[in-house]
Amino acid sequence: MNALLRDWTGAYGLPPFAEITDEDFGPAFAEGLAQARARIAAIAGDPSSPSFENTIAALERADQLLARVGGVFWNLAGADSNPAREALEVDLAPQLSAYSSEVTSNKALYARIEALWEARADLTLTAEQMRVLDLYRRMFQRAGAELTGADSERMAAVMSRLASLGTQFSQNVLAEERGWHMALAGEDLQGLPDFLVATARAAGQERGLNGPAVTLNRSLIVPFLQFSPNRALREHAYEAWVARGANGNAQDNREIVGETLRLREERAKLLGYASFAAYKLEPEMAKTPDAVRGLLMRVWEPAKAKALADAAVLQSMMAADGTEGPLEAWDWRYYSEKRRHAEHDLDDAALKPYLGLEAMLGAQFDCATRLFGLEFKELNLPLYHADARIWEVTRGGKLVALFIGDYFARGSKHSGAWCSTFRDQDRMDGEVRPVVLNVCNFAKGEPCLLSYDDARTLFHEFGHALHQMLSNLTYRFISGTNVARDFVELPSQLYEHWLEVPEVLEKHARHWRTGAAMPAEMMKRLLAAGTYDQGFATVEFVSSALVDLAFHEGAAPDDPMGLQAEVLAGLGMPRAIRMRHATPHFAHVFSGDGYSSGYYSYMWSEVMDADAFAAFEEAGDPFDPETARRLEEHILSAGGSEEADVLYTRFRGRMPGVEPLLKGRGLLDVA
């Protein structure tokens, strides 16, 4: 029998990974869709009066098999893709979009939801049930439930096409990353630290080469740009990195971007909104494009001023090296690393031996134990790939979650880092504890040594994981990270702060070979350099967010790349800095619409995360039990049970201003 369709009776109810074949997915999705459609029809056609149980709760249960199958497939498609899975992604995108459109355009079903809403005052619903009802109603309305006739049909067609375009965009970026490498000869290794040479050799071996190579994996190409003294090689690698999706080949994403923007505009207009940004931002904390632009521009000017000042220093360093011409984007990281070493006596080659993956995993788990009483026990269970690992998470002897970590880059894995689930938390029909997945793309080595940015990424994704693991709600619809997009990054960015706590580094930043603690002076220099090069990092980010906003706040551009250039010119983008994500590989925005008009949300959440960690500092203890209790109660366990500003105000007593963000980035004195 199809392993995806039978009961999963193994340990913890995990998917039977070893028994699942790619051939199982198509029939399992077909059965999941059939069951979901039958249940939706039964709910819509129920002759009894609408109640929360026979309508909203029934909707929560309608797609259980579909969600279970999808939880396996989409995680494997992202973390361990292959041609069969990529082909199925293409087939599934319009099928799942069609199902979603059928549900949200079902007039009888929407009428039942609307009847419940009208009668809500008499239904004696719990606060959580009222919130779920409200959000279901909003979801149907925003999906076009009130559209009729040709408009309803057109909306379904638009959504189907957008789903297919997002899948193709993502697959094109993966193909570009998988298809490029730069082989390194012996002389090309001069000046590279040992860890980088070892990583390049491992990358070459994975690609079937006889020697080392640079790939487009961020954890490899960034240190190469930092340390390689060969300017021509830096330029070649950098230009390949930023050209993903724009190489004039079968994987070129520029036409996909244009069509996506046109369809998003049409979607918004069908629903009565002035622009896609106005539509997308309505349920977020920001609410309007003007509010987003206000935050971004408040940060842009001091960030640009800092970046230009830094660029002048790097330009002089380059001239002192005898290199003529202006500072370029492939020069910045190289000279910035030299400057950091000169000014802070600090470089990644010296730091990495103290930031081994195993040590940093110990640090992220230890912080969660001290803050929330969680205990982690690694298990030996079959998973979907040999690199993946699994831990049992308990508190007071009771199961809280299962946590899977998949940390190494490989050709079958999409780039970046993310958190997802194989199973969400809920307790509608008994306690269901989540199975949470963190995916990173660290360069594999023996041992795996992280840069400080890599370690921050590890903590960031684990912050998302805690949001999922500590969820304590009845309904899956609002559990875990099912919150406003510009609130979802708060737990992840907040958790990064514990990596900067000296006692955490003292305990866990140990030399991978000797076990010696990071020298006190090195740690002091590391923490003192916390705001180093933040002009560069902030300009990279804010420019990307402003381009994303510009794409969506007006009419769809005839020439998206032209608009990108226009926006950057209007900002006075420093010559030697480029967007963190150029449009043809801007997966946040074009692999789906999750972060479309929403890339700003990392910075919106940063306004809160700086203020939230200040609550621990004000308590005099980064592990203050009472502050941790309030953080869990009002944010980490609360999911989307209330509006985000309500939840944050309950934790902190007020909403913050932008000053903690500017201070945290070292930009307050520039503002």
Q: Tell me the DSSP string of 276-301.
A: HHHHHHTTSSS-SHHHHHHHHHHHHH
Q: Considering the domain boundaries, does residue 495 fall inside one?
A: no
Residues 232 and 255 in one domain: no
- Position 180 scores a pLDDT of 96
Q: Considering the domain boundaries, does residue 197 fall inside one?
A: yes
Average pLDDT of the residues in 656-671: 85
Cα separation values, 75 from 421, 555, 565, Å: 8, 35, 35
Name the residue range of residue 228's domain. Answer: 180-242
Q: Count CB atoms within 10 A of the CB of residue 85.
A: 18
Answer with the one of 242, 269, 289 that is the final residue of a domain. 242
Average pLDDT of the residues in 204-220: 94
> Contact at 8 Å (CB) between 583 and 564?
yes
Residues 43 and 119 in one domain: yes
Residues 126 and 209 in one domain: no
Average pLDDT of the residues in 571-593: 96
Residues 193 and 298 in one domain: no
Residues 260 and 316 in one domain: yes
Q: Considering the domain boundaries, does residue 36 fall inside one?
A: yes
Q: Considering the domain boundaries, does residue 484 fall inside one?
A: no
Total domains in the fold of the chain:
3
Residues 33 and 141 in one domain: yes
Residues 235 and 213 in one domain: yes
Cα separation values, 213 from 136, 203, 206, 308, 524, Å: 50, 6, 10, 33, 34
- Give the pTM: 0.94
Residues 227 and 288 in one domain: no
CATH number, domain with residue 270:
1.10.1370.10
Answer with the one of 517, 549, 581 that is the final residue of a domain. 581
CATH number, domain with residue 142:
1.20.1050.40
Judge whether residue 460 has pLDDT over 60. Answer: yes
Residues 57 and 142 in one domain: yes
Tell how many helices (H) and how many strands (E) occur in the chain: 27, 7
Does residue 447 have a cis peptide bond before it, meaning omega lies within 30 degrees of 0? yes
- Position 671 scores a pLDDT of 55
Q: Considering the domain boundaries, does residue 122 fall inside one?
A: yes
What confidence tier does 530 reach under pLDDT thresholds 50, 70, 90?
confident
Q: Considering the domain boundaries, does residue 552 fall inside one?
A: yes
pLDDT in tens, 226-275: 999 999 999 999 999 999 999 999 999 999 999 999 999 999 999 999 99
- Position 499 scores a pLDDT of 98
Beta strand pairing call for 375-379 and 435-442: unpaired
- Residue count (the chain): 671
> Contact at 8 Å (CB) between 433 and 400?
yes
Q: Considering the domain boundaries, does residue 399 fall inside one?
A: no
Residues 184 and 85 in one domain: no
Q: Considering the domain boundaries, does residue 87 fall inside one?
A: yes
Cross-strand bridge partners of residue 430: 428
Among 576, 657, 643, 573, CA closest to 610: 657
Residues 41 and 63 in one domain: yes
Average pLDDT of the residues in 382-406: 98
Answer with the one of 581, 612, 646 that is the final residue of a domain. 581
From 10-19, 71-80, 655-664, the region with the lowest mean pLDDT:
655-664
Residues 227 and 290 in one domain: no
| Percent with pLDDT over 90 in the chain | 95
300 residue type, one letter: W
Average pLDDT of the residues in 334-363: 93
Task: Indicate which residues carry an active-site annotation.
Answer: 461
